[in-house]
Amino acid sequence: MRNVAIIGVGLTKFGQLWEHNIISLAVKAGVLAVRDAGISQRDIQALYVGTMSGGLFVNQEHLASLIADYAGFKNIPSVRVESACASGSLALRQAYLDVASGNSDIVVAGGAEKMTDLSTHAVTKTLATAADTEKESVFGATFPGLYAMMAKLHMYKYGTTEEQMARVAVKNHKNAMHNPYAQFHKEFTLSQVLNSPYIADPIKLLDSSPITDGAAAVVLASEEIAKKLCKKPVWIIGSGHATDHVALHDRQDITTIKATKVAARQAYKQAGLKPEDIDMAEVHDCFTIAELIAIEDLGFVEKGKAGKFVEEGNTSLKGRLPVNTSGGLKAKGHPVGATGIAQAVEAVLQLRGDAGNRNVNPKTVLIHNVGGSGGSALVHIFKK
């Protein structure tokens, strides 16, 4: 397998983007990434598109072909992949394997979702198709409810508090103030988060990531091409992907996401790194409890210690391990199919030193993307 670098990134604004459809969003991100790489559409040999539910969100399947067509990637192989909210990272991984294998030399991996065309109720129902429809969703389970159960047990077993969870939201909204692409530029105090209405006890409105439109794209290239074309290539040095039982009731322990642990083990092994070698991480904070569980499952702290770790400020911009410098899903926004690629964009901006006021000058960055409540997870590690 060959070395692979990211040589270009593109991102749309995240938010309620009523002037766009999913295709125009994806095309914008893709063309920005191609331009950022200093190449042209004709150079792209394959496209990988992550999107969770074109069918239910915008009544459009076959998006890989539509996006390739409208972006001017003429007649190339274009592959739509889906793994619920981890669809973006899955596109990244498949694109990575395509270049690493020598099958292609330059490919684009993109992610996009257009969620705000539906009512909040319809979005919640659509997201619930990432759970086991016949065993969970049909009985009324939605994602706030599923993560609430995970949070409750985490609180019971490890003494994690609602305040510790709220600190994740406060931090991520603070970080998003420095990210021009973020959906929210609004800080919240701890008491504002704690006093926001319960969605599913103990999860409150301000513990939850929003409904978002957006797209992101990266250009991947082989070592030879990356060194020729790019002054600051960012190398993908580890890629891990695992699945697990989709239904919570099938898992041995719902305070941990096994798919994250298995994927992380693969990525660390490939990179030859340990958790302590990672300088910053973008993790899947669809709810604040998810960030705490991720910090533990990725091996940054022992199980049950993430609440304390966050409370002590270790994950803030100036902390020992900045987490979600972009604002995370929580404040940057969570257009599900785009999220994994947007995490990769943040990794690249940070490693290049292009992340403005939020730059933490890392040498290694880990990104972590989860499908549903943990039925799938992907972990990637990058270095300069």
Complex with its own copies: residue 132 or 346, whichever CB lies closer:
132
- The CB-of-381 to its own copies minimum distance in angstroms stands at 16
Nearest residue (CB) to its own copies, 227 versus 245: 245
**Interface positions with its own copies (CB under 8 A):** 1, 21, 52-56, 58-62, 64-66, 68-69, 73, 75-84, 90, 93-94, 97-98, 100-103, 126, 129-134, 137, 241-246, 250, 258-259, 262, 371-372, 375-376
Residue 161 half-sphere exposure toward CB, CA atoms < 13 A: 9
DSSP H stretches of helix in 274-327: 288-297, 306-311
Q: How far is the CB of 50 from its own copies (least distance, A)?
A: 11
Torsion of CA 120, 124, 125, 129, to 10 degrees: 150
Q: Taking Cα atoms as reference points, which of 53, 254, 305, 244 lies closest to residue 146?
A: 254
Output the CA torsion 289→294→297→302 (10° steps): -70
User: Whole-angstrom Cα distance, residue 11 to residue 280?
Assistant: 20
Annotated catalytic residue 380: no
Give the C-alpha separation, 304 to 293, whole Å: 8
* Three-state secondary structure string covering 182-200: CCCCCCCCHHHHHCCCEEE
Nearer to its own copies, 140 or 197 (CB): 140
- Nearer Cβ to its own copies (133/195): 133
Which of 20, 85, 241, 368 is labelled catalytic? 85
- Give whichever of 170 and 211 is closer to its own copies, judged by the CB atom: 211
What's the one-letter identity of residue 148? A
Nearest 10 degrees: Cα torsion 282, 283, 284, 287: -110
* Strand 46-50 relative to strand 106-113, pairing: parallel
Q: How far apart are CA 188 and CA 87, in angstroms?
A: 30
Alpha helices, DSSP H, located in 107-209? 120-127, 143-158, 162-176, 190-194
Q: E strands along 289-372, which residues? A: 364-371
Catalytic pick among 20, 241, 334, 368: 334
Kindly report the backbone phi and psi dihedral angles of residue 115, in degrees, each rounded to the nearest multiple of 5, phi listed first.
Answer: -105, -25
Residue recorded with tokens 């926004």? 333
Annotation marks residue 245 as catalytic: no
**Bond from prior residue into 322 cis (ω within 30 degrees of 0):** no
- Tell me the Ramachandran region of residue 380: left when phi exceeds 0, alpha when psi lies from -120 to 50, beta otherwise: beta
Instruction: Say if CB 282 and CB 293 are below 8 A apart.
Output: no
The smaller minimum CB distance to its own copies, of residues 99 and 351, is found at 99
Q: Which is nearer to its own copies, 55 or 319 (CB)?
A: 55
Residues serving a catalytic function are 85, 334
